[in-house]
Structure 1
Amino acid sequence: MKESQQADQKRLRELERELQRKEKALAEAAALLVLRKKAEAIWGDREDE
Protein backbone atom coordinates (compact mmCIF):
# COMPACT_ATOMS: atom_id res chain seq x y z
CA MET A 1 0.00 0.00 0.00
CA LYS A 2 2.76 2.43 0.98
CA GLU A 3 4.73 1.58 -2.17
CA SER A 4 1.68 2.36 -4.27
CA GLN A 5 1.30 5.76 -2.60
CA GLN A 6 4.97 6.54 -3.17
CA ALA A 7 4.70 5.56 -6.83
CA ASP A 8 1.59 7.73 -7.18
CA GLN A 9 3.36 10.69 -5.57
CA LYS A 10 6.38 10.24 -7.83
CA ARG A 11 4.12 10.11 -10.90
CA LEU A 12 2.30 13.24 -9.72
CA ARG A 13 5.61 15.13 -9.34
CA GLU A 14 6.66 14.01 -12.82
CA LEU A 15 3.36 15.17 -14.31
CA GLU A 16 3.59 18.51 -12.52
CA ARG A 17 7.12 19.06 -13.89
CA GLU A 18 5.95 18.14 -17.39
CA LEU A 19 3.01 20.53 -17.08
CA GLN A 20 5.31 23.37 -15.99
CA ARG A 21 7.62 22.70 -18.94
CA LYS A 22 4.73 22.72 -21.39
CA GLU A 23 3.26 25.88 -19.87
CA LYS A 24 6.62 27.64 -20.33
CA ALA A 25 6.82 26.46 -23.93
CA LEU A 26 3.29 27.68 -24.60
CA ALA A 27 4.05 31.07 -23.06
CA GLU A 28 7.18 31.36 -25.19
CA ALA A 29 5.25 30.47 -28.36
CA ALA A 30 2.59 33.05 -27.51
CA ALA A 31 5.25 35.71 -26.92
CA LEU A 32 6.87 34.91 -30.27
CA LEU A 33 3.53 35.25 -32.04
CA VAL A 34 2.95 38.65 -30.44
CA LEU A 35 6.43 39.79 -31.48
CA ARG A 36 5.88 38.50 -35.01
CA LYS A 37 2.62 40.44 -35.31
CA LYS A 38 4.32 43.59 -34.02
CA ALA A 39 7.20 43.18 -36.46
CA GLU A 40 4.79 42.67 -39.36
CA ALA A 41 2.88 45.77 -38.32
CA ILE A 42 6.09 47.80 -38.31
CA TRP A 43 7.90 46.42 -41.35
CA GLY A 44 5.13 44.69 -43.27
CA ASP A 45 5.00 41.12 -44.43
CA ARG A 46 8.48 40.23 -45.74
CA GLU A 47 7.19 37.10 -47.52
CA ASP A 48 5.74 39.26 -50.33
CA GLU A 49 9.22 40.40 -51.42
Structure 2
Amino acid sequence: MLERLTATCEAAGCDRALDDGNCMLEMERDGGVRRAYECDCGAVTVTVVDPSR
Protein backbone atom coordinates (compact mmCIF):
# COMPACT_ATOMS: atom_id res chain seq x y z
CA MET A 1 0.00 0.00 0.00
CA LEU A 2 2.65 2.56 0.97
CA GLU A 3 4.57 2.05 -2.24
CA ARG A 4 1.52 3.45 -4.05
CA LEU A 5 1.47 6.69 -2.06
CA THR A 6 3.21 9.73 -3.43
CA ALA A 7 5.71 11.05 -0.91
CA THR A 8 6.15 14.80 -0.81
CA CYS A 9 8.89 16.95 0.64
CA GLU A 10 7.88 18.30 4.03
CA ALA A 11 10.47 21.07 4.27
CA ALA A 12 9.05 24.49 5.15
CA GLY A 13 7.48 26.03 2.06
CA CYS A 14 8.06 22.99 -0.15
CA ASP A 15 5.60 20.33 -1.29
CA ARG A 16 7.37 18.84 -4.30
CA ALA A 17 6.67 15.19 -5.11
CA LEU A 18 9.44 12.73 -4.30
CA ASP A 19 9.77 10.01 -6.92
CA ASP A 20 12.28 7.65 -8.52
CA GLY A 21 13.91 10.63 -10.23
CA ASN A 22 15.16 12.03 -6.93
CA CYS A 23 15.73 8.75 -5.05
CA MET A 24 19.43 8.93 -4.18
CA LEU A 25 19.80 5.74 -2.12
CA GLU A 26 17.88 2.50 -1.63
CA MET A 27 18.74 -0.10 0.98
CA GLU A 28 16.88 -3.32 1.78
CA ARG A 29 16.93 -4.53 5.39
CA ASP A 30 14.94 -7.07 7.41
CA GLY A 31 12.53 -4.33 8.49
CA GLY A 32 11.80 -3.11 4.97
CA VAL A 33 13.19 -1.04 2.13
CA ARG A 34 14.63 2.36 3.04
CA ARG A 35 14.82 5.06 0.40
CA ALA A 36 16.48 8.45 0.70
CA TYR A 37 15.20 11.23 -1.55
CA GLU A 38 16.93 14.55 -2.14
CA CYS A 39 14.52 17.32 -3.09
CA ASP A 40 15.43 20.23 -5.37
CA CYS A 41 15.12 22.47 -2.28
CA GLY A 42 18.01 20.57 -0.65
CA ALA A 43 15.99 18.67 2.00
CA VAL A 44 16.43 14.91 2.39
CA THR A 45 13.49 12.59 3.16
CA VAL A 46 13.84 8.94 4.20
CA THR A 47 10.98 6.46 3.75
CA VAL A 48 10.59 2.86 4.96
CA VAL A 49 8.31 0.34 3.25
CA ASP A 50 7.38 -2.74 5.31
CA PRO A 51 7.57 -5.76 2.98
CA SER A 52 4.90 -7.67 4.92
CA ARG A 53 2.15 -5.19 4.02
Same fold (TM over 0.5): no
TM-score, normalisation: structure 1: 0.18
Larger radius of gyration: 1
Higher strand share: 2
Higher helix share: 1
TM-score, normalisation: structure 2: 0.17
